[in-house]
Amino acid sequence: MKTFVLLGGDLRQRYLHTFLKEKGFSTYCFGLYPGDSLQAVQDVLRSNTVAVVLPLPVTRDGTHVQMPLTNETLPLLQVVACVQPGSLVAGGIVPKALTESLLQKGVAVSDYYDEDFILKNADLTAEGTLLELRKHISAPLDTLRVAVTGFGRVAKATAKALRAQNCKPVVAARKEEARAEAERAGFSAISIAALCETAGEYDVIINTVPAQILGADALQKTKPGVLLLDVASPPFGVDFAAAEKLKRTAVKALSLPGKYLPAEAAQIVGEKLAVCGSFCTFHKVFPEMENLVKAGYDVLPIMSQTAYSTDTRFGKAADFVRQIEDMTGHEIIHTIFAAEPIGPKKLLDILVIAPATGNTLAKLANGVTDTPVTLACKAHLRNERPVLLAVSTNDALGTAAKNIGLLLNAKHMYFVPMRQDDPVKKPNSLVADFSQIPESVLSALSGRQLQPVLV
């Protein structure tokens, strides 16, 4: 899609707006700048199939789009009413009810708050946490006694960021296995109960647990000058009412990447919005996958995080995942971390990318490895083994033609024969003849390109 409509959000959405404009997309906004026109946005939504980008989180009250940069309001139901079938709505932590309403209307839904995003966002949150801390305390970090609650992604990143500043944080975690993991990582670790008993020993307590663990009794034991920095989502970990009564400095530090590092956070979202599976061709790929399994091949499935988690009018992601895993007998590799061992362990004889979208072709042609699929390809190619591409893109004879040409001349790259699927209405579109995947696999394994490439 060439048109993006950005609704609500913080500074991340403004930087995302700039990011998308620089990529050549048409963009419309509401709730980001003074003078944004709701009527203009509604007209675009009602007359075009577009990609709608909602913020992270999509909503804080469950009813309206989160719009902290304006006094305007926009009900979620109004978004559903305006967006046209065939459009895509992407957001962070999309409510289930909103997803169901959009799918019923024939609108695809993508929640970009997935594992890959969470890991990258955790690092930005940790950086933002240190910047927020510096706002309230000027003493050198290495002179402070700091506790970090929990040992999830944000807590790990925060503890490591503190250690990089020569601070020695203590990790307080409820589960014994989390404390053991923290100790293996080189941190001192105690239980939450122990933290509550010894709270007076700390100058700073950073909470990452989204459940109240620091109640009135624990806060009573803290120093009068303590900083309680809560970076968790509601209902938070600190009893803020009790903290106020005790005159303790307690800060709700929400959306720190958007506050301190909006450009970096926007780039993460922007890059994810560029990664889209060719969902309409899934029904053509699955029978050929099944044929390979029946022919005796051991098929290890790999999906981009977007394809793995996006519900569309062509079907629900969970149903696709279940079908693939039942068919192959393997769990799907859908994270960059899980794709890394493919090369060192030489897990594959051949890697088949089907469908190979225009976006994937561009990444492969230019050495970009920021998705599970493209990293799997890079890891696999280190073993000088074949990669088979089943093209499916509307731009194959347009902007993607250069990338296809580069890949046709690249070592160990092979193509499933392809054809124009609709020369009149989509003259630049090419789609692989998926029925030729099994024969193309045999040819690629023997070092031959199955001919003719264009059928």
Amino acid type, 144: L
Four-CA torsion 146, 150, 153, 156, nearest 10 degrees: 40
pLDDT at 277 over 50: no
Would you state the structure tokens that stand for residue 292, as one six-digit string? Answer: 């390979």
What does the pLDDT read at residue 273? Answer: 65
Given this structure, which CATH class describes domain 279-445?
alpha beta
Four-CA torsion 369, 370, 372, 378, nearest 10 degrees: 10
Phi-psi domain of 352 (left: phi exceeds 0; alpha: psi -120 through 50; beta: other): beta
Give me the residues paired with residue 225 across strands.
none
Mean pLDDT of 208-236: 96
Express as a percent the part of the chain with pLDDT over 90: 63
What does the pLDDT read at residue 276? Answer: 42
Express as a percent the part of the chain with pLDDT over 70: 96
Domain ranges of the chain: 3-112, 117-260, 279-445
Q: How far are the Cα atoms of 17, 116, 260, 436 from residue 265, in angstroms, in the given order?
A: 12, 13, 9, 42
Which CATH superfamily does the domain covering 3-112 fall into?
A: NAD(P)-binding Rossmann-like Domain (3.40.50.720)
Q: How confident is the model at residue 313 (pLDDT cuts 50, 70, 90)?
A: low
Amino acid type, 256: L
Q: Which CATH number fits domain 117-260: 3.10.180.10, 3.30.360.10, 3.40.50.300, 3.40.50.720?
A: 3.40.50.720
pLDDT at 86 over 80: no
What does the pLDDT read at residue 336? Answer: 82
- Establish whether domains 117-260 and 279-445 are of one fold: yes
Supply the pTM of this predicted model. Answer: 0.60
Q: How confident is the model at residue 271 (pLDDT cuts 50, 70, 90)?
A: low
What does the pLDDT read at residue 275? Answer: 41
Strand 88-91 vs strand 108-111: parallel, antiparallel, or unpaired?
A: parallel
Q: How far are the Cα atoms of 179, 194, 227 from residue 144, in angstroms, in the given order?
A: 21, 19, 11
pLDDT at 398 over 70: yes
Query: How far apart, in whole angstroms, are the C-alpha atoms of residue 14 and residue 305?
Result: 24
